[in-house]
């Protein structure tokens, strides 16, 4: 595992740059990160629901082990697909059909949540996103960590507190959802059980699958960074512009590793800041699931 995460949706989506008439700008961020040493492993799922973009999937799901993407699904293809050789070699048709069924069942809830949140925030047109991050970590000494978080339009919304079986609201609008979700304590207990048991078990299995590949990426030393490649596209979507963010996990930091990415969205209207022309350009990735 390259980094320990305490990342919020705000940090994922942070962008400081002035948009000019160019179709694309290139930007590099280096974000400080704490190194996870030796045999610390992680598994994370990132779900993103999007409204207001006609030519892009309304729902995407990306799964990573030790920051290596091993699975992808979107609402256009409607099929979970492998992204590493180690998962392809070890799981068969039943597994992929099961994952496809799970993601397909999750997709409608994301659409409904975006519609409800637009009403809650008194919004109508424009690009809006509903994101979920859940996952777990296992240290060599047996220490476990689990997290289950939601974000709306690039900002923190709710996060699960496993110790109290409650949700922490990050905004006044999130308080209503917090109270609604806490009514059914059984669901929260299931989420906690998943993070502390099921997630850890599957993480250990995936690490066994990809041991040769994953162990090459584990190292100790000085601080590492993650970098964001920002492809800024000025487009009209119901009168507002938006941009794509690719998060590259450890890209180019360790010899022989690959660059893996997933996509986040946020409205341009909220962003102000410095010119970006003086920043060094990096490779610009396209969306190829």
Q: State the pLDDT at residue 253.
A: 30
* Rounded to 5°, angle at Cα 51 from 50 and 54: 105
d(CA 107, CA 49): 8
Q: List CB contacts of 61: < 8 A, sequence separation 6 or more.
A: 45, 46, 47, 48, 71, 72, 73, 74, 80, 103, 106
Within its chain, how far is the Cα of 69 from the centroid? 11
pLDDT given at position 165: 97
pLDDT digits (tens, 9 = 90+) for 58-103: 999 999 999 899 999 999 999 999 999 999 999 999 999 999 999 9
pLDDT confidence of residue 216: 65
List pLDDT tens digits, range 108-137: 999 999 999 999 999 988 889 999 999 999
Low-confidence stretches of the chain (pLDDT < 50) are 1-37, 219-289
SS3 56: coil
Domains of the chain: residue spans and CATH: 36-221 (3.30.500.10)
Per-residue pLDDT at 154? 83
pTM score:
0.69
Rounded CA separation 155/265 (Å) = 11
Query: Among positive and negative, which fits the CA dihedral 119, 121, 125, 130?
Result: negative
- Alpha carbon 255 to chain centroid distance? 24
DSSP assignment string, 203-236: HHHHHHHTHHHHHTT---SS-EEEEEEEE-----
Residue 237 dihedral angles phi and psi, to the nearest 5°:
-130, 95
Identify the pLDDT of residue 213. 83
Q: How is residue 269 annotated by DSSP?
A: G
């Amino acid at each position: 595992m390259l980094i320990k995460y305490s990342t919020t949706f705000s940090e994922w989506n942070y962008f400081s740059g002035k948009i000019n008439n160019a179709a694309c700008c290139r930007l590099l961020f280096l974000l400080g990160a704490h190194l996870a040493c030796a045999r610390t492993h992680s598994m994370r799922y990132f779900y993103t629901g999007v409204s207001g973009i006609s030519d892009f999937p309304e729902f995407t799901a990306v799964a990573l082990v030790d920051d290596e993407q091993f699975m992808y699904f979107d609402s256009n293809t409607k099929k979970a697909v492998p992204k590493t050789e180690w998962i392809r070699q070890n799981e068969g048709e039943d597994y992929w059909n099961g994952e496809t069924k799970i993601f397909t069942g999750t997709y409608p809830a994301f659409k409904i949540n975006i519609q409800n949140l637009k009403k809650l925030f008194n919004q109508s047109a424009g690009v809006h996103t509903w994101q979920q991050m859940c996952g777990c970590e296992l240290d060599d000494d047996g220490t476990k960590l689990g997290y289950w978080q939601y974000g709306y339009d690039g900002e923190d919304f709710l996060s699960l507190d496993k110790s109290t079986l409650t949700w922490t609201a990050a905004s006044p609008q999130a308080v209503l959802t917090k109270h609604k979700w806490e009514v059914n304590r059984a669901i929260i207990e299931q989420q906690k059980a998943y993070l502390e048991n099921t997630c850890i078990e599957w993480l250990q299995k995936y690490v066994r699958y990809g041991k040769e590949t994953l162990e090459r990426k584990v190292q100790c030393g000085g601080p590492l960074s993650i970098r964001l490649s920002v492809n800024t596209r000025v487009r009209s979507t119901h009168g507002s512009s938006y941009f794509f963010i690719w998060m590259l996990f450890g890209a180019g930091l360790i010899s022989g590793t690959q660059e893996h990415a997933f996509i986040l969205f946020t409205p341009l209207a909220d962003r102000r800041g410095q010119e970006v022309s003086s920043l060094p350009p990096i490779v610009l990735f396209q969306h190829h699931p």
